[in-house]
Structures are given as structure tokens and as C-alpha cells.
Amino acid sequence: MPDAPSEIEFHPHHGGDPASDRKVSWRSLPKDFLHDQKSVWTFPAGLAKGKHWVPTLAIAGGTAVLIATDKYTAPYFRNHQGQLDDINDPFNAYITTAEVVAVPAALMVAGYKRQDDYQVQTAILCGEAYANSAIVDLAMKAVTRRKRPIDVPLNGSFNDTFFSGGQSPFRGSSFPSGHAAGVFSVATVVAERYRNHKWVPWLAYSFAAVISFSRVTTSAHFASDVFLGAALGYTATKYTVLQPR
């Protein structure tokens, strides 16, 4: 971290907030990642001390409401796949993953080409944030093993989808959405690091919202999966990855 606030204030990319402008390098990345994981998995200890209850209840409440309504929303999108084909074609799982990965990759290439350390560090932070969200996402998938909407048989029930999906968290588990967690983690890094450009947060979060919503329209995920994934990606990045060391 710079010794004086002015070093951040006059950088053309910075917004003057050291919590989002911390420095990172390839060398520090392993240690930083372990630091992040410790913060993530010790989060319940903060709740026990009375911290973070408001956002936790808001996320839990929103997820619970959406789980209760998934049985109505999921059949609609599943039954209208034919009408949504033209919209869904650009948003299959492989294309959307490539689109998300392309953001830090482009930042990295451009940063090295322009010799812009801040841009390179932003790309590294995107990777760090993505990895953190992926670990949490896979752990939750392995426990919940929720069936995906597309895997529910025709005329089948959308009520009992938890603990009935595939054994592998990499493929057969729906809750939460890994795409939503990943894209919101990357979007949060970009939005926070370039927040002095007012259009960047709008563009970053709009991109994340479109990618996330596509997981519902393609019946790859329930709305609650996407909501929780997005919340995890945002909060883990904003309050862990981007915090000063």
C-alpha cells in the first residue's frame, strides 16, 4: 500500500479508496488467496460476535423467497425453451465462461503491453476473486446437490430438487450458480478498481447481470441459485479480496 493518500489520489485509475486499491503480485497471490479463504471460512465467527447480521439476513431471506417461488418460475423457462432459443444460443455454459475469463485476460494483455501495473494487478485480482468464489461455490454444491431445472423430467415436480442431483459438484449440482458467482466476482473487481469512470460499474454489473440471468433462461439454474451465486461473488470480493492487507 502507498504510504501517502496522495499517491492513490492522483493515479489516473484510482478512486482514492485504499480498500479497493490494494497492490498484488504473482508472488503474493498464493499468500493472498490463503488469507481470503481464512476470512471466508471464519465468517460464521463474526456472526457469533454479532457482526454482519443485516446483509446475511438480507441474502438469506432473498434466497429463501426465491427458493419458494422456483417451482413457479423454473417451469416457465423450461417450457419456453423453443421461443428462447435465439436469445439463449450466445449464452451456453462454455461461451459464458469464455466471456467471463476474457475480461481479466484482456486486462492482463493490455496491462503488460502498456506497462500499466495497476491494470495488471486488476487482472490478477480478478483471478483471485474468481478462484475464491469457485471454492465456496463448489463446496456448497457438494453439500446441497440440487437438481438442475433442465434435469427435472417432463411433468415432474420442481419441489424436491435438493439432495437429489448428481454426486459431482462440477456438473450435477445446481445450488448456487458458479457462473453468477464468478462473473460477479470479476465485475466487482473491475467496478471497484475503475469506479472513478462512472460508466465502468454500470457496464461491469450489467454484463454480470446478463450472464447470470442467462443461466435461468437456459434452465441451467433456478433463480435462487443465481441470486445466491451473485451475492456470494459480490460479497466475497468486496469484503475480502479487495480489503487492504
Within a domain: 62: yes
Mean pLDDT of 61-80: 91
| CA-atom Rg of the chain in angstroms | 19
Within a domain: 131: yes
CA contacts within 13 A on the Cβ side of 98 = 6
Q: b/e map of 88-108 (b: 16 or more CB within 10 Å)?
A: beebeeeebeebbeebbeebb
pLDDT tier at 28 (50, 70, 90 boundaries)?
very high
pLDDT tier at 128 (50, 70, 90 boundaries)?
very high
CB 32: neighbour CB atoms within 10 A? Answer: 19
Handedness of CA 122, 6, 243, 224 (dihedral sign): negative
pLDDT value at position 4?
A: 36
pLDDT tier at 17 (50, 70, 90 boundaries)?
low
The answer to whether 20 and 242 are in contact (CB under 8 A) is yes
pLDDT above 90 covers what percent of the chain?
60
81-122 tens-digit pLDDT: 766 666 777 778 888 899 999 999 999 999 999 999 999 999
CATH number of 70's domain:
1.20.144
Within a domain: 221: yes
pLDDT value at position 6?
A: 34
Within a domain: 148: yes
Within a domain: 76: yes
Per the structure block, which three cell numbers stand in for 29?
497471490
Domain count, the chain: 1
**Which range of residues forms the domain containing residue 179?**
53-241
Within a domain: 114: yes
CA distances, 14 to each of 10, 23, 128, 179, 218 (Å): 7, 12, 19, 28, 38
Within a domain: 44: no
Within a domain: 117: yes
CA distance 145 to 151: 12
186-210 tens-digit pLDDT: 999 999 999 999 899 999 999 999 9
pLDDT value at position 3?
A: 40
